[in-house]
Amino acid sequence: MTTTQTPTAWPENVIARYFTLAGPSVPGATVDLTHEDMSDTAKATRATCNCCQESGQFEWADQYPRHCRPGYVDYQNQRKGDYNARSWAQSHAETCRALPAPSPAEPEPKRRFWLPGQRTA
């Protein structure tokens, strides 16, 4: 007998997802990678564990000034930041044993106490 799992939609801006040791049987046990804008020129790839909330941020930019030789510009592309974030996410997912926090339960409805002396027909 085979079981099929219905795929869940990834959150917005997630570019990659790694399962932690809990595996695909536990919903939310993933490490997600996203791109963030730090400023106009600086950008970053962030890897966030949805179980233990640990994260790594790997900055990259299309260009940035070279401080040891003024006037020159070094280039670091998105692939380098993504590679570092994927490496961190893979190594963290292989060792993270935390489980995601349970979703908050729906609050119980407010109960009214019935006292026999206050009953009206």
* CA torsion angle 25 29 35 37 (round to 10): 150
pTM of the model: 0.67
* Distance from C-alpha of 72 to C-alpha of 114, rounded to nearest angstrom: 80
For 82, the 3-state DSSP assignment is helix
- pLDDT tens for residues 2-32? 655 556 788 889 999 999 988 888 888 899 9
pLDDT in tens, 60-112: 876 666 667 666 555 567 888 899 999 999 999 999 988 887 777 767 677 76
